[in-house]
Amino acid sequence: MGPAELVQAAAMARRFYLEGKSKIQIAEEFGVSRFKVARVLETALERDLVRIEIRVPAELDAERSDALRARYGLRHAVVVESAADSDDAPDPENLGDVAADLLGELVAEGDVLGIAWGRSTIHMASALHRLPPCTVVQLTGVYDAGTADSGSVEAVRRAADVSGGEAHPIYAPMLLPDSATAAALRGQTGIARAFDYFDKVTVACVSIGSWAPGISTVYDMLSEDEREHYASLGAAAEMSAHLFDAEGRRIGRDLGERCITVEADRLRRIPEVVAIAGGQRKAHAIGAVLKSGLVTSLVTDTAAADYLLLESAPGPRPALDRADPDS
């Protein structure tokens, strides 16, 4: 390109990329066709006269996020850089910060936000600083009812305080000794009131556990014989007290009868289900739950994302068949 062409190309590029003018407006200004403007802009990119830089905060990995979203048919995927010393740790705490910001985007005024028990969801709730006015309901019982005020009950109350909406907590353990006890608790007034909101939930926030000690709430609550029984059925992951094998198939449905939790079929009807989970130790479990189609969006880290992107291609992805909450 000669000097006149360079000057003209620079001027057109400035109008288009910096001033936001259309190609038709630029063509009228310079007395050329819009097709010539398009060719000049294309040449400006090819000759490195214009450089386009896409910048996101350093802790976000935009390339992995987009690849993960496309591979698993998710509505949203946000991948956070793993800390150098936390690749083997499940659920780095910075996932909660990012998930809190994501919920600030996804939740609209008048929505019903559901929060399930999980260390990652508790971190998310503590990081919330903005939410439109909405109702907040607890989707599962707690790991230990005696410490509810420092766990999911407090997470629900925190989210409701931020939004200025109503809170509907569940003061009951997640896992009960038998189905009869669980059924009796579900009939109690406060718990039944929370369950009545399950069909109204528009955005849910859940965590994922691997079938191993310390990284699965359900695993830690069961006896050794029960753990071995569900392991023999192929348990690879759990989410909200529902168990999944490596291919995302639900197993151990009898366990659900003993649990205070939102049913899987109800989860599947929620327009937006955001899972928060990361770390190499949870990567396999995250993949299993994604294959189930119950999750529509994911907040994870690079350690888990690298594993998930190497996984065999998932099958049908029904998550995106649900109604778009923004439509």
DSSP states along 98-130: HHHHHHHHH--TT-EEEE---HHHHHHHHH---
3-57 pLDDT, tens digit each: 667 888 888 998 998 888 999 999 998 889 999 999 999 998 888 888 776 555 5
**What is the identity of the amino acid at 113?**
L
Nearest to 268 by CA among 287, 240, 248, 293: 293
- pLDDT for 22 equals 93
| Model confidence at 86: pLDDT above 60 | no
Confidence band of 317 (pLDDT split at 50, 70, 90):
low
- Quickly state the pLDDT bin for 82 (edges 50, 70, 90): confident
- In order, the DSSP letters of 164-222 are T--EE---SBSB-SSHHHHHHHHTSHHHHHHHHTGGG-SEEEEE-EESSTTS-HHHHHS
H or E element that contains 68: helix 62-72
Taking Cα atoms as reference points, which of 251, 210, 217, 212 lies closest to residue 234? 251
**Statement: residue 2 has pLDDT above 80:** no
Helix%, strand%, coil% for the chain, nearest 5: 50, 15, 40
User: HSE on the CB side for 290, CA within 13 Å?
Assistant: 32
Who contacts 4 (Cβ-Cβ below 8 Å, separation ≥6)? none
| Strand order, beta sheet including 167-168 | 76-80, 297-301, 272-276, 203-207, 112-115, 135-138, 167-168
pLDDT of residue 145: 43
The Cα–Cα gap between 156 and 126 comes to 10
Q: How confident is the model at residue 209 (pLDDT cuts 50, 70, 90)?
A: very high
pLDDT score at 147: 44
pLDDT digits (tens, 9 = 90+) for 143-163: 764 444 457 789 999 999 999
Of the candidate ranges 41-50, 89-98, 252-261, 278-287, the one whose mean pLDDT is the lowest: 89-98
Please give the pLDDT value at position 146: 44
pLDDT (average), residues 82-97? 69
What is the pTM assigned to this prediction?
0.78
The mean of the pLDDT values for the chain is 86
Question: 211, exposed or middle or buried, with CB in 10 Å at 0-12, 13-18, 19+?
Answer: buried
Strand-pair partners of 75: none
Could you tell me which residues come within 8 angstroms of residue 189 by beta carbon, excluding any fewer than 6 positions away? none
User: How far, rounded to the nearest angstrom, does the alpha carbon of residue 286 sit from its chain's CA centroid?
Assistant: 11
Report the percent of the chain where pLDDT is more than 90.
Answer: 55
Measured in residues, the chain has a length of 327
Q: How are beta strands 135-138 and 112-115 bridged, if at all?
A: parallel
User: Which residues lie closer than 8 Å to 194 by C-beta, 6 or more apart?
Assistant: 137, 138, 168, 169, 170
